[in-house]
Amino acid sequence: MTNITATPTGRTEHVVVQMIPSRSGSLPSQLLIETGRLLRRWSRQQEVMTSTLVLPVLLLLMFDLVLTRSLGLSSDADPIYGFVPMIAIAGAMYGAMGTGLSLYGERQSGLLRRFWVLPIHRSAGLLGRLLAECVRAAVVTLVVVLIGMLLGLRFQQGWPGFFGVLAVPVLLIAGFTPAVILVGVSRIGDKVVQLAAIVVLIGMFFNSGFVPLDNYPDLIQPVVRAQPMSCAIEAMRGLILGGPVATPLLQTAAWSLGLAAVFGVLAVRGYRAAAES
């Protein structure tokens, strides 16, 4: 657009004003653009790819090769049916720690601040990151399940069970992501992310997928049974082998909604503060 303005000398000048898109643009298109940007960025970051794909595959191979024989003696079921759900859930959660470090890097570099002043929806950044995390969790689960099938995993519930197994980690990570965002945008996000990653790794050895629940001391069995990884693992095991699905799936959904409710508002405030700082 061209405006004609008068100068103090009485002459007129033509000033070209660039039209800037308003914030009322299409939120879905901006959401998909942000999701694509994050997925491309993560694919080039070594720490994200290692925690997302390399580590889960190595853990599954190690558990199957080293622990299957010893753990199989204490259970009638093949341990692979616990290992695959456990590694898929742990890989999705641990991989989120890598993306948390990526978010911390964007905060430190000022990228979040530059995005904040652009004429885009304020929610596009957060929703795009949430969607990207769900896609990443689905990819992790798919890779782990395919490796598990090579190691002997078989779906007795057919295709519905297969797609259900892919959906459970996505459901859990949708509630876990706000906590990761809150950590990533904090001033000491790099240190907190590392501590959270340690907690996730510890949780991988205290769930119903690692060993049968009865093998844990009576004192900690209620904690192991109720923790979110165990709920998701039992839902996935039921979808693979058949068995109770509704109760552990509802428990997983409750964990996801609870985490989102607790950390969602804090994540939005923290993201805004980091972008405006």
pLDDT tens-digit series, residues 206-225: 998 888 888 899 899 999 99
Q: Helices in the chain by DSSP H: which ranges?
A: 27-43, 46-49, 55-62, 68-72, 80-109, 111-116, 122-150, 158-184, 189-203, 221-226, 228-241, 246-276
Q: Is the pLDDT of residue 159 over 70?
A: yes
The segment with the largest mean pLDDT, out of 30-34, 50-54, 77-81, is 30-34
DSSP state of 207: S
Secondary structure (3-state) at 171 = helix
Residue 9 pLDDT grade (very low, low, confident, very high; cuts 50, 70, 90): very low
Q: In whole angstroms, how large is the CA radius of gyration of the chain?
A: 23
What's the pLDDT score for residue 117?
81
State how far the alpha carbon of 270 is from the alpha carbons of 76, 112, 164, 178, 198, in Å. Answer: 48, 12, 33, 10, 23
Q: What is the pLDDT of residues 222-250, one digit of tens each?
A: 999 999 999 999 999 999 998 889 999 99
Instruction: Identify the weakest region by mean pLDDT among 61-65, 161-165, 261-265.
Output: 61-65
What's the pLDDT score for residue 71?
61
What's the pLDDT score for residue 54?
87
Residue 74 pLDDT grade (very low, low, confident, very high; cuts 50, 70, 90): low
Angle, CA 223 vertex, CA 222 and CA 228 arms, to 5° = 115
Distance CA 237, CA 235 (A): 6
What's the pLDDT score for residue 204?
85
Percent of the chain with pLDDT over 70: 87
What's the pLDDT score for residue 12?
43
pLDDT (average), residues 157-172: 93
Question: 188 or 90: whose pLDDT is higher?
Answer: 90
What's the pLDDT score for residue 6?
43
Which residue type sits at 199?
A: V
What's the pLDDT score for residue 4?
43
Secondary structure (3-state) at 13 = strand
Q: Is the pLDDT of residue 8 over 80?
A: no
Instruction: Identify the weakest region by mean pLDDT among 125-139, 190-204, 211-225.
Output: 190-204
